[in-house]
Structure 1
Amino acid sequence: MESFRTSGASPKGNAEQIHFWDPFGILFIFLQHPAALSVGAQQTSKVGVEKLHPEVATMTTKSTGSILAGKASSSPLLSSAPRQRLVTKDGRCTLRPPPYPAGKWSRAWSGAWLLALQDLWGLLVNLRWRWVLLAFCASFLAHWLLFACLWYLLAHLNGDLAVQDHDHPPPGHVICVKYITSFTAAFSFSLETQLTIGYGTMYPSGDCPSAIALLAVQMLLGLMLEAFITGAFVAKIARPQKRAGAIQFSPQAVVGQHQGKTCLMVRATNLLHRPLVDVKVSAVLYEEHEGQALYQTTLDFQLDHLGQQPCPFFIFPLTFYHPLDRHSPLYPALCEGSSNHFELVVFLTALQEGTGDSCQKRTSYLRQEIQFDRRFVPALGLDARGRYMVSIEHFDTAHSKEPMSRDCVVQINGDGSDRME
């Protein structure tokens, strides 16, 4: 560190001597000579890339030299601000409702709660399990407490609380519920009535119409509550989204040759042994256009010679293809050097063989998550006994294949100057 400050050597030569475990030295060099740290980091990254991936280093040599020479880059990955994904890799939407103005916050909050209560079933089914269990316990406890208060109020208004011996009440006095002498006893009777336990100690009198009416109301509301909560539990357990969790997409898409055509390829697999039927794959391209933040275009994916027909049987990894011809919405972005930001959201829809319920799995790919001049490694093979075996470790593996068409441009600097030869 001292030699850099006193010897006057070039930043490039001394940046290689930086010890990354000395944060104060790095901070001093960065404050005194900012270019030293940036150039040193670029050289370190270049050496690491050449050691690990020599083919990638060959492709990036030209672009790195351009940057170091001062050439301006028009790549959105290098010059534009990072953008939020619309859909995460596991299919979750990242958009959030806009913040409300300070004066309208309370009104908007009450309106949101009203909309949520109108769709109480959907709200309960989509809640996490811990909140569902909390709602289950809280709803039954609130129901028992409510009717405990009503039973206690009935005993108070009827004068049962003042009776010392419920076995020998005063002449002419009809006790509505035997042995409700406190709120604890009223809560116990409410619990026994709701769960139809019937210990036999406390029971309503047939000569008290108010008790019979309150008993009927509690039973009806209790049955409705039990049916609602039980149905929500069953619906949450049997949700199709749980089955869709066993569908996995390749983390990266590849562009390569398939049957003599340049195609965009994505791979999907079914992690469970239960097959899915009528599998369809579609995609929506969200691309920035002038005058519109995100322009939506649909894309079609094909499976071998099935064309647009759904795949009738999904049990092993499948590779879906989208031809990158001049009619493809992705052609300007991938093959003509367009620098517009885009996000490709892929949807896989299938039916469960046992129940017939539809499930959907989705993921998204950004520009930097698409590899060029690649083909997926076959994930289905034969063992020594002639049985088909699925190799999960090769599911998302891509290797270099035959070169692509010269019409397809690999975006390195973003200016379309580097073509795949």
Structure 2
Amino acid sequence: KNGQCNIEFANMDEKSQRYLADIFTTCVDIRWRYMLLIFSLAFLASWLLFGVIFWVIAVAHGDLEPAEGRGRTPCVMQVHGFMAAFLFSIKTQTTISYGLRCVTEECPVAVFMVVAQSIVGCIINSFMIGAIMAKMVRPKKRAQTLLFSHNAVVALRDGKLCFMWRVGNLRKSHIVEAHVRAQLIKPRVTEEGEYIPLDQIDIDVGFDKGLDHSFLVS
């Protein structure tokens, strides 16, 4: 048992499209292996896309022809094939120094694509780093070090029958202003005969008296 309701959604149209509509939250919720896969594929796809664009620019400008047949400045220096264009794309987006392979003033479209790839690279970096940081700081894993007793008891406390269980914090860092909330989940049949398999009832843990606030030290 992990506190989740054992339910399955059915008859939901466009479920995948709804997840893609909020792609940032989807990336935060998915497993790390899929997150790293998307992270790698996003960069690889952008490198390949702009590599193809630079290669097409070189082909259209005649930069791939033999040296004796050109006689003019190429759009991108030292780009003689697709692999060289792909390497130039990686250097542009990762801001690695160009060296001999660099864009020239011969082709304005090549200069524009360098600017466009730099902007796209910044957007991808911001999105991926933001999603990874949001995933890392989520309190979901913090709950792994909060332990609940396997058994709960009903016993007298100050002359009243109380439903009690224990909570333990494994970490040395204290949890200040922890709010306690408990729900009783059970099946119920309404007066109209409707069967509710997971009826949720809030248990009074001292909301009115402020007893729902706890200083969890151990």
TM-score, normalised to structure 2, is 0.89
Equivalent-residue separation in structure 2 for 1:240 and 1:155 (angstroms): 50
**Which residue matches 2:205?**
301
Amino acid of the structure 1 residue aligned with 2:6:
T
Q: Give the counterpart of 2:89 among 180, 185, 190.
A: 190
Equivalent-residue separation in structure 2 for 1:98 and 1:308 (angstroms): 40
Identity %: 33
- Whether the 8 Å CA contact 2:205–2:211 is kept in 1: the answer is no
**Which residue matches 2:23?**
120
**Which residue matches 1:251?**
150
Q: Give the counterpart of 1:215 among 102, 114, 118.
A: 114
Alignment of 1:279 with 2:171, yes or no, is no
Structure 1 SS opposite 2:27: helix
Equivalent-residue separation in structure 2 for 1:270 and 1:254 (angstroms): 20
Q: Note the 1:380-399 alignment, pairs <5 A.
A: none
Equivalent-residue separation in structure 1 for 2:39 and 2:178 (angstroms): 36
Alignment of 1:231 with 2:130, yes or no, is yes
Equivalent-residue separation in structure 1 for 2:5 and 2:174 (angstroms): 27
Amino acid of the structure 1 residue aligned with 2:204:
D
List per-residue Cα deviations over 1:128-168 (Å, max 9, x = no partner). Answer: 11111111111111111111111111111111111426xx9
List per-residue Cα deviations over 1:256-276 (Å, max 9, x = no partner). Answer: 111111111121111111000
Q: Note the 1:19-418 alignment, pairs <5 A.
A: 88=1, 90-98=2-10, 108=13, 111-164=14-67, 169-170=70-71, 173-290=72-189, 291-293=194-196, 294-302=198-206, 307-316=209-218
- CA deviation after TM superposition for structure 1 residue 307, in Å: 4.1
Structure 2 SS opposite 1:298: strand
Equivalent-residue separation in structure 2 for 1:201 and 1:95 (angstroms): 60
- Whether the 8 Å CA contact 1:278–1:310 is kept in 2: the answer is no
5+ residue gaps in structure 2? none
- Whether the 8 Å CA contact 1:280–1:311 is kept in 2: the answer is yes
Amino acid of the structure 1 residue aligned with 2:215:
F
Equivalent-residue separation in structure 2 for 1:97 and 1:312 (angstroms): 35
List per-residue Cα deviations over 1:155-213 (Å, max 9, x = no partner). Answer: 11111111426xx941xx34110121111111110111111112412111123211111
- CA deviation after TM superposition for structure 1 residue 302, in Å: 4.3
Amino acid of the structure 2 residue aligned with 1:201:
L
Equivalent-residue separation in structure 2 for 1:221 and 1:295 (angstroms): 49
Amino acid of the structure 1 residue aligned with 2:200:
Q
5+ residue gaps in structure 1? 1-87, 101-107, 317-421
Structure 2 SS opposite 1:160: coil
List per-residue Cα deviations over 1:314-336 (Å, max 9, x = no partner). Answer: 112xxxxxxxxxxxxxxxxxxxx
- Whether the 8 Å CA contact 1:281–1:300 is kept in 2: the answer is no
What is the RMSD computed on CA atoms of the aligned residues? 2.1
Equivalent-residue separation in structure 2 for 1:286 and 1:312 (angstroms): 23
TM-score, normalised to structure 1, is 0.48
Equivalent-residue separation in structure 2 for 1:139 and 1:210 (angstroms): 24
Structure 2 SS opposite 1:240: coil
How many residue pairs were aligned?
Answer: 213
Moved more, 192-201 or 291-300: 291-300
